[in-house]
Amino acid sequence: MNFDLPQELTRYLAELDAFIDAEIKPLEQADDNIRFFDHRREYARTDFENQGLPRHEWEALLIEATRRADAAGHWRFSAPKKYGGKDGKNLWMAVIRDHFTQKGLGLHNDLQNEHSIVGNFPFVNMFEHFGTPEQQEEFILGGFARTRRVSFGLTEARHGSDATHMETRAVRETRDGVPGWRIDGEKMWITGMHIASHCAVFARTAGEPGDARGITCLLVPNPSPGLVIEEYMWTFNMPTDHPRLSLTNVWVPESAMLGP
């Protein structure tokens, strides 16, 4: 079996290296931005007086790095061409990410918060496979434009990620003549809620605890009446953006349902 990398891939790795040297390393060194990566990084990144959330300066730096990568045609590499990507394959992504790790910690790739100049976009797959045309336009294009960000609301304190025993429930309810869903329950470790425009809340809508069927995904705007971020859970590796949240009498229309 031949494990040699295709020439096209090795050329692309060299192109990425040149881009990092020309655009990302100078940004990393400017304005003492290296503080986010050296021995000062935990304190530089963390706003300890604001629930341990990421500092605005830290998140702004990540956005600027990906903005430059997007302008150079790298950030959306794995996305379909119709969304400005390159139809990048998983094998290429694996090689690229492995190549980046060999460069050490830096602004080019920091997976503590899934940052990379070659991005990973699970929301594209979610909405490509399960979204309506309207949802695809709103959340895929909006995701790349940074007007939409969806947090993943699956985990619960008493059941972890065992979706079959989740206690969050949604029932059909019509309000002001509009059919929709009422949601009640709790979720935990829902990453990114401090900047999320929506939370993809998974709730049982049919069946019994333990059933594999009867789980529905509902796109809940953030903020929404009844959606409360109870606390951000401090972790061994700060900053944190992983809250525990509650949903009490939260209502969304039928159009908020993602998939069956």
Q: Is residue 125 included in any domain, yes or no?
A: no
- Residue 111: predicted pLDDT: 82
Cα(129)–Cα(126) distance, integer angstroms: 6
Mind listing the pLDDT tens digit for each residue in 82-93? 999 999 999 999
Residue 160 has pLDDT above 90, yes or no: no
CATH of the domain at 33: 1.10.540
Q: What are phi and psi of 218, to 5 degrees?
A: -125, 130
Residue 40 has pLDDT above 90, yes or no: yes
Q: Is the dihedral of CA 223, 48, 33, 122 positive or negative?
A: negative
Mind listing the pLDDT tens digit for each residue in 206-234? 999 999 999 999 999 999 999 999 999 99
Same domain, 154 and 62: no
Print burial letters for 196-224: b (CB count within 10 Å at least 16), e (below 16): bbbbbbbbbbeeeeeeeeebbbbbbebeb
Q: What are phi and psi of 15, to 5 degrees?
A: -65, -40
- Residue 210: predicted pLDDT: 94
Adjacent-strand bridge partners of 45: none
Identify the residue with better confidence: 161 or 37.
Answer: 37
Residue 240 has pLDDT above 80, yes or no: yes
Residue 161 has pLDDT above 80, yes or no: no
Residue 77 has pLDDT above 80, yes or no: yes
Average pLDDT over residues 230-259: 94
Write down the pTM of the prediction: 0.91
Q: Is residue 100 included in any domain, yes or no?
A: yes
Q: Is 15 helix (H, G, I), strand (E, B) or coil?
A: helix
Q: Is residue 141 included in any domain, yes or no?
A: no
CA torsion angle for 24, 100, 120, 242 (degrees, to 10)? -90
Cα(117)–Cα(103) distance, integer angstroms: 13
Counted domains in the chain: 2
Residue 1 has pLDDT above 90, yes or no: no
Same domain, 88 and 169: no
Average pLDDT over residues 34-53: 96
Average pLDDT over residues 151-156: 95
Domain boundary among 105, 120, 135: 120
Averaged pLDDT of the chain: 95
Q: Where are the beta strands (DSSP E) in the chain?
A: 46-47, 53-54, 109-110, 115-116, 150-153, 169-175, 178-187, 198-204, 215-221, 227-232, 243-253, 257-258
